[in-house]
Each structure stands twice: as C-alpha cells, then as structure tokens.
Amino acid sequence: MGRHGTIAGRKAAQDAKRGQIFTKLARAISVAAKTGGDPEYNISLKHAIEKAKAINMPNDNISRAIQKGTGELGGASYESGNFEGYGPGGVAVIVDVLTDNKNRTASAIKHAFDKHGGNLGVPGCVSYMFDRKGIIIIELTDAIEEDAIMETALEAGALDIITHEDSFEIQTMPEDFDTVCAAMKQAGYDFAEADVEFVPSIEASPGETELKNLKKMIDMLEENDDVQKVYHNCSIVPDDE
C-alpha cells in the first residue's frame, strides 16, 4: 500500500531528525523498562532497544533511559495513549503518544488538526478502519530469495508477505509478532523496521490540495516530542519521498 515509503526515504528522514527521534525512543525505552530492565525477559524493552540501536542511538542514552524507567534515575513519568480524528480529505488518522502531561499533548494535537483542515475526534471514531498487525520490513537485496523469505515467514506464522519496490513487508497477528521476528532473525534476516502497528482496512484517496495539507499536518504532529507515531489510511504516501 506504500504507506511506509521507501527505505532510502525513511533513512533520510531519520537522519534529518535524529536528535528528536532519540528523544522519542528514549521515552519508549523508559516506559517499556517499567515492567523490568532486562531485555532478555522483557520483549517490549528488547524491541525498543533494537529500534534505538538501528538508528545508532548511543549506548549511554539507552542505559539512562532504562534506568529512568526502572526508577534508578529520576525523571518524568510517561503514559501511553492515542488520539483519533480525520485529516484533510477525510483521511483517518491515529496518533500514538507518550506524554507526561495529557492536557498539553491533547491541546497540541487538536491545534495541528484544526490548523490544517482536520478534525480531532473521540476515541473509536476511526480505529474501526484499522487492524492491529505486526509489521516487519526487510530490505530487498540480490542476496535474498523471495521464495525463501516467504517460506520462512509463513512457516513461522506470518499472515502475508508483500513485495514492495525495495523491501519485503511481513504481516503477522500481534500475538505472533515476537515468534515471527525470532524465526526471521534466526534465519539470518536483518530488519529495516519491526513493530506492531495500526494497518488500515479501508483507504482514502484525497485530492492534491488535501494531500499537501495532510503532509503539513503529519509533519507538525511528528515534530511534537510527545508523538511517537502517526498512522493514516491515505492510499498515497503524503511526503516527498
């Protein structure tokens, strides 16, 4: 469906916003560490650390984030949550957040929707148009055989494998995500991305003007340190990739 964009485009965006991404990932690590600081016994923490290492987050930053989560270091306490609404052109949008001040975050998100022609809604207003799925992105290279990767993924319990321009997208049920991840890693595959996400079951196709405003709205949301991820059901990637 193309919502992820190209791997090269995502890497370029990550490089441009590396410091801000470090901040967001540190929060995710701290929240995950609340239930245990050992990644071998805490799958959520393990995945959060792997995402941080994938963009070369320094080990000291990771250690401090874990210590904040376990209470060894002081710091703000973050809560997870999400906001739902409609962006320009009727595009359904879900915003995942980690925040130490829900009122501040709610106000900022509402402002982003309002400024760009969207409408922040009530919980459940758009989530029925999405399914929760595990998503594993593996870069397509000459060394990877499509049949082999499909066989490994399906045998491990994957729902589907989609071949994109420069990547394979493996979809799983949320409860099978960790098992499939482990099987793919054991088979020697490296991940460009791996997470449990909101995947749209219904798509929207806004016009050119609405698409530009949607991009501005998503950019504004993603610039907020409280926002972890923005999901949408636009059939086109609303960016410059």
- For residue 73, the model assigns a pLDDT of 87
- For residue 12, the model assigns a pLDDT of 63
- For residue 238, the model assigns a pLDDT of 63
Which structure tokens are listed for 157? 């319990």
- For residue 236, the model assigns a pLDDT of 84
Instruction: Kindly list the structural domains of the chain, giving each domain's residue range(s) and its CATH number in brackets, ordered by start.
Output: 7-70 (1.10.10.200)
User: Model confidence over 24-47: pLDDT tens digits?
Assistant: 999 999 999 999 999 999 988 999
- For residue 189, the model assigns a pLDDT of 95
Q: For the whole model, what pTM was predicted?
A: 0.86
**Confidence band of 148 (pLDDT split at 50, 70, 90):** very high
Select the highest-mean-pLDDT range: 6-15, 38-47, 109-118.
109-118
- Please give the share of the chain, as a percent, with pLDDT higher than 70: 92
Which structure tokens are listed for 239? 């960016």
Cα 66 to Cα 125: distance, rounded to the nearest angstrom? 34
Tokens 């990637």 locate to 237
Report the pLDDT averaged over residues 159-188. Answer: 95
Choose among 174, 93, 95, 96: nearest CA to 135: 174
Mean residue pLDDT of the chain comes to 91
- For residue 2, the model assigns a pLDDT of 39
Cβ burial of 186 (10 Å; 0-12, 13-18, 19+) is: exposed
User: Model confidence over 74-83: pLDDT tens digits?
Assistant: 877 899 999 9
Cα 119 to Cα 130: distance, rounded to the nearest angstrom? 18
Contact 85, 121 (CB under 8 A): yes
- For residue 8, the model assigns a pLDDT of 66
